[in-house]
Structure 1
Amino acid sequence: MDLNIRKAIYANISNNDQEQLEATIVDAITNGEEKMLPGLGVLFELIWNHSNEEEKKEMITSLESGIQNDL
Structure 2
Amino acid sequence: MDLNLRKAILSNIATNDQSQLEATIVDAIQDGEEKMLPGLGVLFELIWNASDEQEKQEMIDALEQGVKKATAS
Normalization by structure 1: what TM-score?
Answer: 0.98
Counterpart residue number, 2:15: 15
Residue 60 (1) aligns with residue 36 (2): no
SS of residue paired to 1:16 = coil
CA RMSD of aligned residues (A): 0.4
Q: Distance in 1 between matches of 2:20 and 2:7?
A: 18
Structure 2 alignment gaps of length 5 or more: none
Q: Distance in 1 between matches of 2:32 and 2:70?
A: 16
Q: Distance in 2 between matches of 1:38 and 1:70?
A: 20
Q: Deviations over 1:15-54 (max 9, x none)?
A: 0000000000000000000100000000000000000000
Q: Distance in 2 between matches of 1:28 and 1:70?
A: 18
Letter in 1 for 2:70: D
Normalization by structure 2: what TM-score?
Answer: 0.95
Counterpart residue number, 2:47: 47
